[in-house]
């Protein structure tokens, strides 16, 4: 049977989602815990990847097991959370149809980026703290966000292009919201390229402080050249917020 895990994690101490040779990852940590509890070597496949320092409010992963865990052990979620470190939480655990894939069946992903416009030590590893005297103009930020949706090729915001067969993405939503001293960027698309959101945020911030103009921003997108983009925003401010699947994935 195939099972889905709904996961949230604080990414500050992890070198990203994907297993690495020398550094600790979220995927490896969960696999070790599952393998211990089920007394079998378990491999999980995530809905995507997050880089070192990036957080997830909602991530999904699937794995296969030849018995119905929901019948064998109704406390599997509790046990997983008991053994996992405090920076990872299993929010849900459920069975799905056999051919449903955590990555390939995703309809869209939503990312959130957080910028705090003042110094706050309690948000040190979950936001980009903007301490510059240069003020960010939110109206200009949203003009840039609106422009994004007019394009399909986001080569200019993709790191390590050799790993991509295509740079075409469909952005459904992109907007900046200011709440008191906190600036949030929300973006939803069917897929994202490596470092795409952080590169977009860094470039639009340069637009918001008038380092570049809207015409410059358009030229950057159309040039399809990562070297023309702005800085890459710090990983600590990025959250994978939501992953959307078809409604018929569940095994009833």
CB of 38 closer than 8 Å to CB of 65:
yes
Residue 111 annotated in ligand binding: yes
CB of 198 closer than 8 Å to CB of 130:
no
Interhelix angle for 196-208 vs 214-223, to 10°? 160
**Nearest alpha-carbon partner for 111 in 252, 240, 249:** 240
Q: What SS3 state is found at 170?
A: coil
Rounded-to-integer distance, Cα 198 and Cα 11, Å: 15
165 contact partners, CB below 8 Å, separation of at least 6: none
Rounded-to-integer distance, Cα 204 and Cα 185, Å: 10
**Nearest alpha-carbon partner for 18 in 8, 10, 9, 29:** 29
- Catalytic machinery residues: 51
* Sequential DSSP letters for 62-93: EEE-SS-HHHH-TTHHHHHHHHS-TTEEEEEE
Q: Which residues are annotated as a binding site for substrate?
A: 111
């Amino acid at each position: 049977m195939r099972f889905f895990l709904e996961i949230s994690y604080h990414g500050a101490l992890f070198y990203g989602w994907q297993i690495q040779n020398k550094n600790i990852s979220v995927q490896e940590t969960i696999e070790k815990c599952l393998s211990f509890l089920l007394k079998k070597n378990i491999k999980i496949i995530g809905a995507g990847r997050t880089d070192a320092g990036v957080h997830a409010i909602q991530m999904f992963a699937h794995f296969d097991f030849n018995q119905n865990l929901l019948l064998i052990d109704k406390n599997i979620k509790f046990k997983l959370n008991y053994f996992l470190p405090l920076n990872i939480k299993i929010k849900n655990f459920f069975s799905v149809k056999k051919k449903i894939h955590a990555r390939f069946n995703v309809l869209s992903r939503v990312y959130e980026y957080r910028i705090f416009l003042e110094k706050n030590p309690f948000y040190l590893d979950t936001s980009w703290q903007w301490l510059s005297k240069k003020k960010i103009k939110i109206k200009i930020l949203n003009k840039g966000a609106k422009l994004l949706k007019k394009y399909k090729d986001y080569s200019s915001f993709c790191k390590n292009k050799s790993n991509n067969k295509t740079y075409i993405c469909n952005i459904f939503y992109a907007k900046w919201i200011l709440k008191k001293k906190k600036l949030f960027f929300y973006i939803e698309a069917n897929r994202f390229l490596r470092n795409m959101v952080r590169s977009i945020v860094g470039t639009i911030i340069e637009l918001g402080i008038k380092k570049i103009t809207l015409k410059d921003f358009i030229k950057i997108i159309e040039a399809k050249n990562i070297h023309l983009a702005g800085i890459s925003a710090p990983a600590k401010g990025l959250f994978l917020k939501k992953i959307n699947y078809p409604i018929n994935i569940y095994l009833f």
